[in-house]
Amino acid sequence: MSALHFFRWLSHSSFSIYLRHSTWGFAIIETVHLLGLAALGGTILIVDLRLLGIGLRRQPISRVARELSPVLLGSLGVMLISGALLVMTGPMKYYYSPSFRLKILLFLLAVTFYFTLHRNAVRSNADSTGFTWSKVAAVVSLALWLGVGLAGRAIGFLGMLLV
Amino acid sequence: MPHNMSPLPHFCQWLHDSTIGTSIRESTYAFPVIETVHVLGITLLVGTIAVVDLRLLGILFKREKVSSIVRQVLPLTWSGFVVMFVSGVLLFWSEAEKAYVNPIFRIKLLLLLLVGLNPLIFHSTIYRRVAAWDDALVAPRQARVTAILSLTLWTATIVAGRAIAYVH
Looking at residue A135, what is its pLDDT? 92
Q: Which residues form the domain of A81?
A: 3-162
Interface check for B158 against chain A (CB to CB < 8 A): the answer is yes
When pLDDT is averaged across residues A47-76 and rounded to a whole number, the result is: 95
Interface test with A, best of B28, B31, B37, B40 (most A CBs within 10 A): B40
CA dist A45 and B71 (Å) reads 18
**CA-CA distances (angstroms) from residue A148 to A35, A69, A110, B20, B54?**
16, 20, 8, 30, 27
Interface check for B160 against chain A (CB to CB < 8 A): the answer is no
Q: Element (H or E) spanning B60, and its range?
A: none
Chain A residues touching residue B72 (CB < 8 angstroms): 55-58
Q: CA angle, A82 as apex, A137 and A141 as ends, to 5°?
A: 5
Chain B residues touching residue A28 (CB < 8 angstroms): none
Are B47 and A41 in contact (CB < 8 Å)?
yes
State ipTM.
0.91
Q: pLDDT by residue (tens digit) across A112-140?
A: 999 999 999 998 877 666 678 899 999 99
When pLDDT is averaged across residues B84-88 and rounded to a whole number, the result is: 97
Q: pLDDT by residue (tens digit) across A1-41?
A: 799 999 999 999 999 999 999 989 999 999 999 999 999 99
Residues written for chain B: 168
Number of domains in chain A: 1
When pLDDT is averaged across residues A100-112 and rounded to a whole number, the result is: 97
Phi-psi region of A17 (alpha: psi -120 to 50; beta: other; left: phi over 0): alpha
CA dist A40 and A152 (Å) reads 14
pTM to 2 decimal places:
0.92
Are A42 and B40 in contact (CB < 8 Å)?
no
Residue B26 distance to chain A (closest CA, Å): 14
Question: Considering chain B, what percentage of its residues have pLDDT values greater than 90?
Answer: 90
Q: pLDDT by residue (tens digit) across B102-116?
A: 999 999 999 999 999
**Residue A44 and residue A140 in contact, taking contact as beta carbons nearer than 8 Å:** no
